[in-house]
Structure 1
Amino acid sequence: MPNVAVLTNDLQYEFTHKISKDPHDLSRLLKQFNTFLDGIRAAGQLVVHLQLIHDPNDPQVQSRYRGRAIPAIAGTPGNRLIEEVVHPSDLVVVKGRDSGFYETKLDDTLREQGVKTVVVTGLQTHVCVQTTAADAFFRGYKIWVPSDGVFSPKPEDTQRALEWLASYCAVIAPSSEILERLKDHDDLPGRGEEIAA
């Protein structure tokens, strides 16, 4: 059973502009991210995609997007997960709010799999990544966030969120370091634990 699960947030076609508006840069970043996911799978660990689906009839959703188009509506083409990051062995959990844990089956799914550590990735760093990481911490998971595996349209939003996560609940490290640690260990240490090379 895996000890580690990578949680991706909102890697859906209609949100790719939040990763990069430049097609070549987007392709490069997705390829780099996919290499990380392949390494996680090769290490025998789990990948879980958190797919945002809004109910357009939900009053809270209507209020949040008042005067704007509601994104991530079920059945719309842009709401699909980006095909190149999804592997048949991956799991998908649908969420209706920013945090992947809010009124979803994520916690039960992770516990059934024996997961102790979550690596929170995707977008946006200062919204879904940050809230999902905090909710995981409240539930007793160890938290890692790859500094090169989270995205926001504004770099300062990513930087601010990573600083908060590092001060509160997470170990921040490059994805290459996470993969390197999983070559020799079947889990990752928690924040504040001795991190041996």
Structure 2
Amino acid sequence: MSEPALIVIDMQNSFLHPKGENYYASAGETVEPVRRLLDAARKGNRLIVHTLDRHRRGLIDFEQKRLPEHCLEGGFDAAYFEGFGPLTDNPREVEIVKRRYSAFFATDLGLMLRENGVETAIICGVKTNVCVRATSQDAFANGFRVVVPRQATNSNRANLQEASLEDIDRYLGHVVELDEALSQLAGDANG
């Protein structure tokens, strides 16, 4: 079996809380499916990576050339949405702070996954066409099997959601139903 890890992308107030600076209503559709994936990964003693989009106050950040200043460290928007983030008593849950779309870029994510025998990256969270897509592409480029549960990710633009999932499934990995990803995290299916 291909050892899976769960990579949870940007489940933060910025996207999920109605007062978040990047909030969009359909982001909330990911909350319950991602919680179910977290429960399954915890029960299966899987490595869980929680990513945060977080930027430094007062310093230039290249991403600002494309996006307005957002998710500033220490602020409400940069914090995890209620019920998300690593459990403090579980050493198999880690946090990766990222300053670009991909959780692999300029982080030790690939190294950590390889050192822990991970072969499959189950990637969920927000937004499909930006951070989920970029992380999926870099997971593939780093030699990991990519799995994206359809119901556990979304975008504020339906056309980009569908196009991104189609690209991921065709070129980078497998877009699956939530139950299949839950089964893989529980150890019920080969990866």
TM range (shorter): 0.7 to 0.9
Contact 1:37–1:85 (CA<8 Å) still a contact in 2?
no
Structure 1 residue 7: Cα displacement: 0.8
Structure 1 residue 58: Cα displacement: 2.3
Query: Where do 5+ consecutive residues of structure 1 fail to align?
Result: 189-197
CA distance in 1, matches of 2:154, 2:23: 5
The one-letter code of the counterpart of 2:65 is S
| 2:7 counterpart SS class | strand
CA distance in 1, matches of 2:122, 2:170: 16
The one-letter code of the counterpart of 1:124 is K
Moved more, 56-65 or 135-144: 56-65
Query: Where do 5+ consecutive residues of structure 2 fail to align?
Result: none
Aligned to 1:99: 102
RMSD: 2.3
Of residues 128, 132, 143 in structure 1, which corresponds to 2:131? 128
Aligned to 1:142: 145
Q: What pairs up with 1:159-174 in 2 under 5 angstroms?
A: 159-174=162-177
Aligned to 1:33: 34
Matched-pair identity in %: 26
Structure 1 residue 175: Cα displacement: 1.5
- Say which structure, 1 or 2, has more relative contact order (CA 8 Å, 6+ apart): 2
Structure 1 residues 72, 152: CA separation in 2 closer, same or farther (over 3 Å shift)? same
Q: What pairs up with 1:1-197 in 2 under 5 angstroms?
A: 3-16=3-16, 20-21=24-25, 26=28, 29-55=30-56, 56-65=58-67, 68=68, 70-88=69-87, 89=90, 90-185=93-188, 188=191
TM-score w.r.t. structure 2 length?
Answer: 0.85
CA distance in 2, matches of 1:135, 1:146: 17
Structure 1 residue 95: Cα displacement: 0.7
CA distance in 2, matches of 1:78, 1:147: 25
Structure 1 residue 59: Cα displacement: 4.8
Structure 1 residues 185, 31: CA separation in 2 closer, same or farther (over 3 Å shift)? closer
The one-letter code of the counterpart of 2:60 is D
Contact 1:19–1:123 (CA<8 Å) still a contact in 2?
no
Q: Rg: which structure is higher? A: 1
Contact 2:30–2:153 (CA<8 Å) still a contact in 1?
no
